[in-house]
Amino acid sequence: MQNQYVLEVTPLCGSGCPDPDPTQPSRAAPNIERKKDHFFSDPSDWKSLFFCGAFHAKKGTVGRQFSVVFTGYLHGDQVMNPFEERIQQFSAALSREKIELCVVMQNVDLYYFTGTLTQGLLMVDDRGRYRFCVQKPISRASQESRITPVVPVKGPRDWGPQLAEFMEGRQVAILGLETDVLPWDTAQRLQGLLPGARIANVSHIIRRLRSVKDATELESIRSAGAILGDTFAALARFLKPGLRELEIAAFIERHMRLAGHQGVTRVRKFNMELYYGALGISSSVRLPTLFDGPVGGKGLYAATPFFAGNAGFEQGDTLLVDLMAGVEGYLADATRTYALDPVPEAVDRTHAVLLSIEEEVRQRLVPGTVPETLYQLALERAAAAGMAEGFMGYGENQVKFLGHGLGLEIDELPVLAPRFSDPLQENMVVAVEPKYFDDTLCTGVEDTFIVTPEGGLNVIPYPPEVIHL
């Protein structure tokens, strides 16, 4: 049976106000008392649900007459909270791995489990119990958190008493921590509060949970994809000879922010930083960079070798634009190539090979496919076309992956790369990005796909061919 999703709808005109007449102006007032739930089967309906569009119904926002908050989905006659369910799934995984207690502290992981971004920690045991402690901001966390209660703490000195109270005298042999991102001194401090406890990494458990998206997460990713599609279209109208990369980047940044892009693009890998993505003309994107991706760049300074530099976009150039957009934390990723004619015919021929690789991979983005097989398939197709040397990066920039998972971070599971053998699952989200570089040209494409039984569902609404100007 299809899930029914639940909205909590709160009138803003007091407990005695009638349901609004959509033909009349809003009479919103500050007192909020009455609440009621509405059920629906398609979460995309948030954008225009009730009262003939009398308000803009979107998660966590206040419309003209109502505050609308997603509270969960209907399972039988019970309203299930997806954040609670994530914690229960995590707790069950801890139990399977014999980890009595986990302390989650990384901000993105905390957001995934609680729905709010805080300085705090989430304790989860192997029996389904949890405690959410917040240092700052307590008032906002209390309003935004999708789990309760929110326990105020003043800082690390309160961790010990909170842990002791939560565990109720139970001995902890193994303490789970996000050791891929947690500072060592913080890990040691937590371990010191639990004498005899051994630290175990739990990041792989959390990342696997996060890799399969629910309907609300997918809707945010679709919205992010729509921003990218609109930006690519606007950029095609804006580009002209003589523009510097920096001017092009400024146009993109302004357009995306006004379209709703959150601005922040999060990366989990240590020492990896990212701005809006990568952007540059042919000569720029061949330059080596520390970022673990196929597109190079000079940037403005040695301290920030990212995104755009000062190179000019002139006739005969191709411009590679690799962008990420985020909505409510969730990211979409896409690349388009612009050509300021005349450019060599080889650009379109090479790009056609990349499009065929992307399409062949897209068809195989179904549950059960092993990710590393898709990477190997792409290598074989590129080699057959005589493109092995420059496929997925020029020189030092060549990377050993074809695509990556997306969600709250840009480097999520699954990864289309060697040694990634866990089969794809429905509603995973993957960016597939075949690109090619040599001494005379560069071109590439990238789209964000949702794994479905029918193959990858593209969320980027803009044609993938080279855009000739």
Digits of tens for pLDDT over the chain (469 positions)?
344 445 454 443 333 333 433 333 333 323 323 333 444 444 444 333 332 232 333 444 333 334 444 455 555 555 568 999 999 999 999 999 999 999 999 999 999 999 999 999 999 999 999 999 999 999 999 999 999 999 999 999 999 999 999 999 999 999 999 999 999 999 999 999 999 999 999 999 999 999 999 999 999 999 999 999 999 999 999 999 999 999 999 999 999 999 999 999 999 998 888 888 889 898 888 888 888 888 888 889 999 888 888 999 999 999 999 999 999 999 999 999 999 999 999 999 999 999 999 999 999 999 999 999 999 999 999 999 999 999 999 888 889 999 999 999 999 999 999 999 999 999 999 999 999 999 989 999 999 999 999 999 999 999 999 999 9
pTM of the predicted structure, to 2 decimals: 0.85
Statement to judge: residues 75 and 87 lie in one domain: no
DSSP-assigned states of every residue in 109-152: HHHHHHSS--EEEEEEETTS-EEEEEEE-HHHHHHH-SSSPEEE
Q: Which of 373, 451, 458 is nearest to 419 (CA)?
A: 373
The number of distinct structural domains making up the chain is: 3
Q: Helix or strand or coil: residue 355?
A: helix
Q: DSSP class of residue 304?
A: B
Q: Helix or strand or coil: residue 160?
A: helix
Q: Helix or strand or coil: residue 395?
A: helix
**Please, are residues 74 and 4 in contact by the beta-carbon 8 Å criterion?**
yes
Q: Which of 248, 296, 259 is nearest to 392 (CA)?
A: 296
- Single-letter amino acid code for the residue at 272: M
Start-to-end CA distance of the chain, whole Å, equals 50
Q: Please give the biggest Cα pair distance in the chain.
A: 74
Which positions ≥6 away from 397 have C-beta within 8 Å?
A: 286, 288, 289, 293, 294, 295, 296, 437
**Please, are residues 317 and 301 in contact by the beta-carbon 8 Å criterion?**
no
Q: Helix or strand or coil: residue 364?
A: coil
**Please, are residues 296 and 280 in contact by the beta-carbon 8 Å criterion?**
yes
Predicted local distance difference test score (pLDDT) of residue 78: 57
Q: Which of 102, 93, 97 is nearest to 190 (CA)?
A: 102
Torsion, Cα of 172, 176, 179, 184 (10° steps): -30
Statement to judge: residues 154 and 278 lie in one domain: no
Please state, in angstroms and as integers, the Cα–Cα distance from residue 427 to each residue in 36, 194, 246, following that order.
30, 38, 36
| Domain final residue, candidates 188, 209, 230 | 209
Predicted local distance difference test score (pLDDT) of residue 10: 44
Statement to judge: residues 169 and 290 lie in one domain: no
Statement to judge: residues 234 and 372 lie in one domain: yes
Statement to judge: residues 103 and 55 lie in one domain: no
Which positions ≥6 away from 46 have C-beta within 8 Å?
A: 7, 57, 58, 59, 68, 70, 219
- Give the whole-angstrom CA distance, residue 384 versus residue 158: 61
Q: DSSP class of residue 185?
A: H
Statement to judge: residues 48 and 87 lie in one domain: no
Lookup result for tokens 């402690």: 133
- Give the whole-angstrom CA distance, residue 60 versus residue 79: 18
List the structure tokens of 21: 């007449």
Predicted local distance difference test score (pLDDT) of residue 275: 85
Which positions ≥6 away from 148 have C-beta within 8 Å?
A: 132
* Phi, psi (degrees; rounded to nearest 5) at 177: -140, 160
DSSP-assigned states of every residue in 200-214: EE-HHHHHHHHHB--
- Give the whole-angstrom CA distance, residue 6 versus residue 455: 29
Q: Helix or strand or coil: residue 394?
A: coil
* Phi, psi (degrees; rounded to nearest 5) at 305: -80, 55
Statement to judge: residues 321 and 339 lie in one domain: yes
- Give the whole-angstrom CA distance, residue 243 versus residue 33: 55
| Domain final residue, candidates 182, 209, 236 | 209
Statement to judge: residues 63 and 128 lie in one domain: no
CATH label of the domain that carries residue 156:
3.40.350.10
Lookup result for tokens 């690349």: 335
- Give the whole-angstrom CA distance, residue 75 versus residue 234: 43
**Structural domain of 134:** 82-209
| Domain final residue, candidates 209, 227, 253 | 209
- Give the whole-angstrom CA distance, residue 111 versus residue 153: 18
Statement to judge: residues 38 and 126 lie in one domain: no
CATH label of the domain that carries residue 361:
3.90.230.10
Statement to judge: residues 37 and 101 lie in one domain: no
Statement to judge: residues 76 and 89 lie in one domain: no
- Give the whole-angstrom CA distance, residue 426 versus residue 431: 15
Q: Left (φ > 0), alpha (ψ -120 to 50) or beta: where does 169 sit? A: left
Statement to judge: residues 234 and 319 lie in one domain: yes
List the structure tokens of 135: 């240092």
